[in-house]
Amino acid sequence: MDIPVVEKTVYAPITEEESILLAVSEGCSYGKCKFCDFANDPYKVFPLEWIRENAKYLAKESGDNPYLFLLGQNSLSLPTAHLLNVLKIVYEFFPQVNHIGMYARAKDVNIKSDHELSLLRDCGVKALYIGLESGSDEVLSLMNKGTSSSEFLEACKKLDMLGISYHLTIIGGLGGKNLSNTHMEKTAEILNKINPASIWQLKLFIWPNTPLAEMRDTGEFTELTPLEVLQEERELLSRLKVENCVFMDTTVLNKYSLIGFLPESQSSLLETIDRLIEEEIQQT
């Protein structure tokens, strides 16, 4: 069998860049979020034989790397039996692996029973990467995220209980001008009720040919300026009361990255943001 070719750019979280990257699916099984350009891509699940051939190929260069990431925009949506078969392949070719991560939607977590999630955890699934994007139901519904804040809470509590860590992304400016305040308040509120291992804030990027691009063009959505996004982020960060959590933003004013451990680095992160806000105001 030919080695499977993953046609699109490979997307993995920044913290998994050094992991062995094994493709199990491509695109997203939901694909309806208005801001997301993956929504334009067809969703594909790779057959086990393809995954096996790919694993055989990757094993030649994996050395003693214990980290592996299952590529695909929400691989947890695959049936548990299928995922367990994938994990058998993983251990056949990468016996040294002891930490497996993948992307998931909150709904993918909720739909699986505690027993199914425990089986996956016991087979090495230790980290899920979930797009929270916003804690505001108004914003989630405007963006057609397909998941409510209470469903996010339910998923995160379940993962806390089962000892599976989760890493969340949030999108700065996702509420636009009209909902910026509620986006910031409700996002901080939900983050303070859960225990994320990391929070990665990304500034909203409006991709061409997405429903959000159309909303912007018709005036239904007004984008924040980079300075306004940073001011929103400052407010959010000042409200966070999370423990043992990495906070990062690789899109600050479209040119800087911020990273720190919460709560220890909270004040220094805020000071840096204040300085950047001050500089930005002076330049405009």
- Residue nearer to ligand SF4 on the CB measure, 143 or 179: 143
How many residues contact ligand SF4, by CB under 6 A?
Answer: 11
Q: Which of residues 56-75 bind ligand SF4 (CB under 6 A)?
A: 73
Distance of CA 24 to the CA centre of its chain: 17
Residue 224 gets which letter from DSSP?
Answer: P
The tokens for 20 are: 């062995």
Residue 13 makes contact with ligand SF4 by CB under 6 A: no
Residue 31 makes contact with ligand SF4 by CB under 6 A: yes
Q: What is the end-to-end Cα distance of the chain in Å, rounded? A: 59
Q: How far is the CB of 22 from ligand SF4 (least distance, A)?
A: 18
* Three-class SS state of 108: helix
Cα radius of gyration rounded to whole Å, the chain: 19
Q: What are phi and psi of 106, to 5 degrees?
A: -60, -35
- Residue nearer to ligand SF4 on the CB measure, 36 or 86: 36
Residue 50 carries which side chain, given as an amino acid letter?
A: W
Residue 226 makes contact with ligand SF4 by CB under 6 A: no
Stretch that binds ligand SF4, among 4-12, 26-34, 261-269, 271-279 (CB under 6 A): 26-34
Query: What CA–CA distance (Å, rounded) separates 163 from 178?
Result: 38
x-or-dash string of contact with ligand SF4, 99-138, rule CB under 6 A:
------x-------------------------x-------
Residue 28 makes contact with ligand SF4 by CB under 6 A: yes
Query: What CA–CA distance (Å, rounded) separates 247 from 254?
Result: 17
Q: Which residues of the chain form contacts with ligand SF4 (CB under 6 A)? A: 28, 30-33, 36, 38-39, 73, 105, 131
